[in-house]
Amino acid sequence: MRRETLALVALTTAVLLSTAWAGQKIMSVQVRQGPVRATPSFIGQVVGSLNYGDRVQVTEEKPGWTKVSAGAVSGWMHTSSLTEKRVVLAAGGGTVQTGASSEEVALAGKGFNADVEAQFRAQNRSANFTAVDRMEKRAVTQQEMMKFLRAGGVSPREGGAR
C-alpha cells in the first residue's frame, strides 16, 4: 500500500510539473538589442540587455509590456521587441563572407536595409540627411532623459503602451 501511494504521488507530481512546464510561454527577441527594464516603462532603469534571437521565458504580461527571464537577466521588455516565432541565426557555413550581419538581419526583418535607404536617398536628392545621420549615432543616457523630463515637468507613469 505504501509503495502504491508513493508511486501515485510521484506520478501526480510528474504530471503537474509537465503541465506547468508546457504552460510556460517562450518568446524570441526580434530587435537588434533590447533593453530589459526594472519596471514596465520606457523610463524604467535598464537592468540588462538581450540580443536579436535570444530566447526568453515570459513570467508576466501587462498592456504593452512583457516580463521576461533569460539566464541572469530578468525584467520588463516592450512587447514590440518580442515575437512568439523562434528566431534562428545560422552562419553561412563556407560562405560566411557573403552572409548577413545580425544588424542586417534585424533591419531586413523590419523591412529596412542599406539598399532601401540608398533607394530613398536617390529618390529624395534634395533632402538633407545630415541631421538624421547624426541622430542615429546619438545615445541618450538614462540620467540625461530623466533630467530632460524633470525640466519639462513631465512625470511619466508606469506603462507606455498605446
- 46-51 β-sheet, strand order: 46-51, 33-37, 73-78, 65-70, 55-62, 25-29, 82-83
Tell me the DSSP string of 67-104: EEEETTEEEEEEGGGEESSPP-----GGGGGGSPPHHH
**Residue ranges per domain, the chain?**
24-148
Alpha-carbon span 125 to 129, nearest angstrom:
10
Which of 6-10, 121-125, 128-132 is predicted with the least confidence, judged by mean pLDDT? 6-10
Say what the pLDDT of residue 32 is: 87
Segment 90-117 mean pLDDT: 62
> How would you class 108 by CB atoms within 10 Å of its CB: exposed for 0-12, middle for 13-18, buried for 19 or more?
middle
CB 56 within 8 A of CB 29: yes
Domain 24-148 bears CATH identifier 3.20.20.80: no
Whole-structure pTM value: 0.55
* Category of 57 on φ-ψ map: left (φ > 0), alpha (ψ -120 to 50) or beta: beta
Burial-class residue 65 by CB neighbours within 10 Å (0-12, 13-18, 19+). buried
Q: Does the CA dihedral 104-109-115-121 come out positive or negative?
A: negative
- % of the chain surpassing 70 pLDDT: 67
Indicate if the pLDDT at residue 23 is higher than 50: yes
- Residue 4 and residue 120: Cα distance in Å, rounded? 73
Query: What pLDDT, in 10s, does the model give residues 6-21?
Result: 555 555 555 455 444 5
Closest C-alpha among 126, 146, 130 to residue 138:
130
